[in-house]
Amino acid sequence: MFNKIHGRHINGHKHMSTSEPIMNYLDPDFVYFPLNVGNATYQKLVEVGSKVLMGQQILIREGRFGHPICSSVSGTVTAIKKQWHSSGKMVEMLEIANDHQDLACYVKTNDEQLTRDIIIDKVKNAGIVGLGGAGFPTYVKYLPSQPADYVIINAAECEPYLTCDYLSIIEETDRFIRGIHYIMIANSSKKGVIAIKKSKLEAIDILKKALDGIDDISLFLLDDVYPAGWEKYIVEKVTKKSYTGLPREAGAVVNNVQTAIAVCDAVEENKPLIDRVVTITGEGIKNPRNYRVKIGTKITPLLTLSGGYVDDLDEAYCICGGPMTGRSLFFDDLVITSNVGGIIVKPKPKTLEVNECIGCGKCSENCPAFLTPTAIKQAYLSKNINDLNALNASRCVQCGLCSYVCPSRVEMTDYMAKAKEMLMKANANKK
Amino acid sequence: MRKFSLEKGPYLRSVDEKIISTQRMMFDVIIALLPIVLFGWVINGILPYFKHLNNVNFFNMLQPLLNVIVGVLSSVVFEALYFLAFKKAGNIKNALIEAKNSFAAIPGLIIALILPARVDMYVIVFACFFANIIFKMLFGGLGHNIFNPALIGYAIAATVFSSQIATALEIQNGVFNSLLNITTTATPLSILSAESSSVGSFLVNKTVLVDNYGGLINLFLGLKNGALGETSGLLCLVGFVYLVARKVINWRVPVFYVGTFFIICWIIGIVNHIEGPVLGIWFPTFNILTGGLLFGSIFMATEPVTTPKSPNGKIIFAVFCAVFTALFRFIGMFNEGVCTAILFVCLFTPIIDKFAAKNRGPIISSKMVLRYLVVFVLFVLITLYTVYKTTSIPKDDLAVIEIVNTIGGGF
């Protein structure tokens, strides 16, 4: 009762973008690749003016989480320009002009025996990162040599509005399941689990049919709550084990749906990570739907393809990612990087009035990390680092539930993020 | 390229989706209280009047309703005046809007409900003044008060106007008894106190306490005398179900409050050799159905501002409310104990809150278990003290009985 994450049901708004199948938009004129994101910088492997092929490694991140980034089109590197990145900042990006030839540098090879090392190597060279949103290099998860008990595929997609994973499962079931098998080989794992929300009936039906006769992959049905897609929530539900750091502690490897599909492509065709599915949706879009796009494409043509904005759109948000954890953008001129799962255009609510906190305690009742946001807010405002430590402010995952449930519309999540930042800074200074 | 609004996330709020809002929560509390107001009016005003009982004139018929209206009005007016005088509300309209936004009406409504139906109206106005001006606005307004305004207003009024309240209760009891053909004139609980004090041991008699009122079922339905709004356990439970279903209050506080109180009373009954089936289970049941315990645990102990915020804190709060209610009820001066217990435990809310916030989490360390153990031992000690005291209630001081009989308006 005290240490079980309950979650809370949130209206999904998912029906908007599921009626149409995924549409291909694979031939953009220009693609962009960021040269530095946050504290990660990328080494250029090409210069302005050089010709690149589709799938050629153009940037490489070094260090512990190193991975290459591959060009998603063939063409010429034309410039280094500042463009809007999903982090909400202008970032220097490599611009590649598409020659519309799609000359690929990768070829299909026939491997007689797929061993663990071969798969990890292929995944690393393909530059596959988690496509759920965090963008963690996938091969790093596979490196620990002890076998994982479970390979868990996170198909919960608990963020409202987004449907890219859901449609990917429906349309690419076979590749998805083959991908899971490859991940299982890479982790010497015997059990594969697809964790999906109970409410996604169509996808569950299709998966049940596809899994007929496959014994080592099973379905795990999650409640229709937020944050059911939180890695920790899924791992604890599936393995019944609790952990503090990485899921590996509980003997699990967790991957996103699209990551599994990308792994399948990388293993079978040596195809690097060059495309992904994004959802363009929201009440502000005329015809919401999902698109398969080259990584590095701008969202502007996709918005046009979706019929543009509804006519009476007044002040609105343009949200990159899901509405709970995403970020609002100033312009609709974003470059789709591998961590962008969707763009949501949503009218701004008429009133943003914040009332007095009446202390109802809904925030702490709903907190999946078992924190008490009101206490943390107080400690943050009084700059009490000791209290922040004792209140475990660093455990916050910024899922956004505290702000969501607040009846007074207090910006709890924002306070929590600031408190976490303050605590981390203070702890870093101490060291 | 189009410009968009930059805001803090998340971009989906239950407030915007009209799932919940502070206004709606407070409105729901009023809705949950409405049946109780109506029931109080019928049983204390309409029925006696139309049965042509003596001493009941037309004004007395309307008085229960008028009391509620006076309570609500005086609360709103006091707060509006405060906004006008000290918060620069400008004109009267703005002040009234401010008062509405800080939910001024609720303390007044609850005060009217926990005072006897026949109490003089100036007592209500006095209580509302203390509730809304002194203990709410002067502490910083909505969200900053440290006591439940209604309870503290009631407590002060009950102390200052104790004789007026007692007289009102007596008149009301007289009316009530002729309505229900009951021969005793006191509330069930003051009988309990008087009985146990005069006999010297904790000897209580089911015939006097329960059967005179037509059994436990009548106590549950609310056919008993007491404060205007607290008599019907059934309607309190209906309100509880409604408020929980609408996610206004947390189920934990009422459930743990009533549950713990039930168990403590049961233990007290067993220790004192109270007779009856299932180890005298009527005794704890009787204690839950009287003295406004259900009303207090559902509408008072769940007041958000002055009670702990985290779920575990709420449980600690409820459990301590229960044990102090038992302590105050059986050996204290106020024979109902609910009001004083909640006010008393509210004082510890910041401590409970801090303790609870620091001791939550998916990982339960041994240190945490130890801390909870300390709290539990404290709880057990107070319980044991209460149980011990009930076995040795003093018999010599008759004046005590006098006080017990006169103070406390049934809450």
Share of chain A above pLDDT 90, in %: 52
How far apart CA A14 and CA A160 sit, in angstroms, is: 6
Spacing of C-alpha B378 from chain mean position: 24
B17 vs A contacts (CB less than 8 Å): 11
Q: Give, as one character, the DSSP assignment of residue B45.
A: I
Residue in A with minimal Cα distance to B11: A323
Q: Environment class of residue A46 by beta-carbon count within 10 Å: exposed (0-12), middle (13-18) or buried (19+)?
A: middle
Q: Is B139 helix (H, G, I), strand (E, B) or coil?
A: coil
Of A3, A160, A359, the CB nearest to B305: A359
The predicted structure's pLDDT at residue B392 = 62
Contact indicator for A315, A52 with CB cutoff of 8 Å? no
- Predicted confidence (pLDDT) per residue in A388-404, tens digit: 999 989 889 889 999 99
Cβ distance A242 to B362 less than 8 Å, yes or no, reads: yes
Q: Given this model, what pLDDT does residue B199 score?
A: 42
Residue B404 has pLDDT above 60, yes or no: no
Interface of B with A in 355-374 (CB under 8 A): 356-358, 360-364
Give the C-alpha separation, A376 to A384, whole Å. Answer: 9
Interface of A with B in 186-205 (CB under 8 A): none
pLDDT of A3-45, one tens digit each?
A: 677 888 888 889 888 888 999 999 999 999 998 887 788 888 8
pLDDT of B397 above 50:
no
Which residue would you say has higher pLDDT here, A352 or B70? B70
Q: Bigger pLDDT: B50 or B211?
A: B50
What mean pLDDT is predicted for residues A120-140? Answer: 87
User: What pairing do the DSSP bridges indicate for beta strands A40-44 and A57-61?
Assistant: antiparallel
Could you read off the pLDDT of A38-79 as tens digits, one per residue? 778 888 889 899 999 998 999 998 878 888 999 999 999 999
CB-CB: which of A331, A349, A411 is closest to B3?
A: A331
Does the beta carbon of B145 lie under 8 angstroms from any beta carbon of chain A?
Answer: no
Is the Cβ pair A392, B361 closer than 8 Å? yes
Distance CA A406, CA B251 (A): 18
Q: Is the pLDDT of residue B206 over 70?
A: no
B344: Cβ–Cβ under 8 A, 6 or more apart, which residues?
B324, B328
Residue B152 CA to residue B158 CA, distance in Å, equals 10
Which letter does DSSP use for residue A104 in this model? Answer: B
Token pair belonging to A74: 């063939």
pTM for the whole structure: 0.89
Q: Which residues of B touch A402 (CB under 8 A)?
A: none
Smallest CA–CA distance from A314 into chain B, residue: B4
Burial class from Cβ neighbours inside 10 Å (0-12, 13-18, 19+) for residue B238 reads middle
**In chain A, positions 336-365, which contact chain B (CB-CB < 8 Å)?**
344-346, 348-349, 352, 355-365
pLDDT-based confidence at residue A161 (cuts at 50, 70, 90): very high
Provide, for chain A, the percentages of residues in helix, strand and coil under a 3-state DSSP scheme, each rounded to the nearest 5.
30, 25, 45
Q: Do A405 and B142 touch (CB under 8 A)?
A: no
Name the residue among B1, B24, B360 with its Cβ closest to that of A372: B360
Contacts for B67 with CB less than 8 Å, ≥ 6 apart: B112, B115, B117, B119, B121, B124, B228
CA A405 vs CA A18, A127, B18, B102: distances in Å: 27, 38, 11, 20
Rg (CA), chain B: 22
- The Cα–Cα gap between A5 and A399 comes to 13
Average pLDDT of chain A to the nearest whole number: 90
Best of B3, B15, B19, B106 to disrupt the A interface (most A CBs within 10 Å) is B15
List the domain boundaries for chain B. 22-162, 185-405
In terms of average pLDDT, the best of A371-380, B154-163, B187-196, B393-402 is A371-380
Residue that has been written with the tokens 């339960």 in this structure: B364
**Beta bridge partners of residue A97, listed in sequence order:** A30, A76
Evaluate whether B127 touches B112 at the Cβ level (below 8 Å).
no
Contact A131, A341 (CB under 8 A): yes
Q: What is the mean pLDDT of residues A121-149?
A: 87
Structural contact between residues B282 and B228, judged by C-beta atoms closer than 8 angstroms = no
CB contact under 8 A, A391 and B4: no
Cβ separation of A403 and B2 shorter than 8 Å? no
A358 to B354: CB separation less than 8 angstroms, yes or no: no
Distance CA A177, CA A194 (A): 9
For residue B408, pLDDT beyond 80: no
Residue B195 makes CB contacts below 8 A (sequence gap 6+) with B203, B204, B205, B208, B209
What is the Cα–Cα distance from A7 to A4, expressed in whole angstroms? Answer: 9
CB contact under 8 A, B1 and A405: no
Q: What are phi and psi of B29, to 5 degrees?
A: -60, -45
A333 neighbourhood in chain B, CB within 8 Å: 1
Determine whether the interchain pair B15/A5 forms a contact, defined as Cβ–Cβ distance below 8 Å. no
Query: For residue B190, what pLDDT is reported?
Result: 63
Q: Residues A166-224: pLDDT tens digits?
A: 999 999 999 999 999 999 999 999 899 999 999 999 999 999 999 988 889 999 999 99
Shortest alpha-carbon distance between residue B41 and chain A (Å): 31
pLDDT-based confidence at B136, cuts 50/70/90? very high
Determine the Cα–Cα distance for residues B387 and B332; give it in Å rounded to an integer: 13
The pLDDT value given to residue B3: 86
Q: ipTM value of the model?
A: 0.86
Instruction: Report the range out of A41-45, A86-90, B285-289, B340-344 with the highest average pLDDT.
Output: B340-344
A102-116, A246-260, B52-66, B160-174: which has the highest mean pLDDT? Answer: A246-260
**Model confidence pLDDT, tens digit, residues B252-284:** 999 999 999 999 989 988 887 777 777 888 888
CB-side neighbour CA atoms (13 Å) of A325: 18
